[in-house]
Chains A and B, each alone.
Chain A
Amino acid sequence: MIIVTFLIPIILIAGIMSVVMLLFKSGQRRGFNLGGKMKWILGGYTVILLIAAMLSAVILPAKLTSGKTYSTEQIEQIQDEETRVFDEAMNGKYDPGQTAFNKKKSWSLPFSERTLTVSAPSISVFVEHTDHSKDGSIEAVYYTGKFIIERIDVTDKSNPIELSLAGSDLSVNNPIPTEVNMGLFQAGFAFSQFSDGTGGMSFDSEATFGLGFVYLKVPAGVEVKGDVTYVN
Chain B
Amino acid sequence: MYLAEVKLSNIVKKQYSYKLKSYSSGFTSLIFIQMIAILFSFNGSSMMGGGSETFSYDVKYFTGSMILVFTMLWAFIVGILITTKAYRNDDYSFVTNQAASQYSNILFLLSACAFAGVTAFLSTHLFQLIAVFVLKDHSFMMQQLTVGEMLKGLCASYLYIFLLASIGYFAGMLIQFNRAFVFILPVVIFGLLILEGVVTGESTMLFKTGIFFGDETSFVLFAIKVIGVSSLFYAAASFLLRQMEVKA
Pair B27/A42 contact, Cβ less than 8 Å: yes
By size class, the interface of chain B is 35 or more
Q: A182-B139, A203-B143 are in contact. Are A191 and B67 (CB under 8 A)?
A: no
Which of A22, A23, A60 is within 8 Å of B129, CB to CB?
A: A60
- How far is it, in angstroms, between the C-alpha of A43 and the C-alpha of B27 when the chains are bound? 11
Q: A2-B197, A20-B78, A23-B28 are in contact. Are A177 and B140 (CB under 8 A)?
A: no
B204 interface residue, CB < 8 Å from A?
no
Query: A173-207 vs B: 1/0 string, CB under 8 Å?
Result: 01111111111111111111111001111110101
A232 interface residue, CB < 8 Å from B?
no
Between A2, A34, A176, A189, the greatest number of chain B beta carbons within 10 A of the residue's beta carbon is seen for A189
- How far is it, in angstroms, between the C-alpha of A30 and the C-alpha of B58 when the chains are bound? 49
B243 interface residue, CB < 8 Å from A?
no
Interface stretch among B95-103, B146-154, B173-181, B230-238? B146-154
Pair A181/B145 contact, Cβ less than 8 Å: no
Q: How many A-B residue pairs have CB under 8 A?
A: 271
Query: B59-70 vs A: 1/0 string, CB under 8 Å?
Result: 111111101101
Q: A46-B119, A65-B140, A65-B141 are in contact. Are A34 and B24 (CB under 8 A)?
A: yes
A147 interface residue, CB < 8 Å from B?
yes
Pair A202/B143 contact, Cβ less than 8 Å: yes
Closest residue to A187 on the B side, CB-wise? Answer: B143
In chain A between 50 and 100, which residues have their CB closer than 8 angstroms to a CB of chain B?
A: 50, 52-53, 55-57, 59-60, 63-65, 67
- How far is it, in angstroms, between the C-alpha of A50 and the C-alpha of B54 when the chains are bound? 43
- Which of chain B's residues have a CB closer than 8 A to the CB of A183? 44, 59-60, 62, 131-132, 135, 138-141
Q: A10-B190, A49-B123 are in contact. Are A188 and B157 (CB under 8 A)?
A: yes
Which of B56, B135, B160 is within 8 Å of A190, CB to CB?
A: B160
Pair A59/B129 contact, Cβ less than 8 Å: yes
**Could you tell me the distance in whole angstroms from the C-beta of B131 to the nearest C-beta in chain A?**
7
> Can you report 5 residue pairs joining A to B where beta carbons are below 8 Å apart?
A158-B55, A181-B139, A184-B61, A186-B62, A199-B145
Instruction: Give the B-binding residues of A (Cβ under 8 A).
Output: 2-3, 5-6, 10, 13, 16-17, 19-28, 30, 32-35, 38, 41-42, 45-46, 48-50, 52-53, 55-57, 59-60, 63-65, 67, 122, 147, 149-150, 152, 154, 157-159, 174-195, 198-203, 205, 207, 209
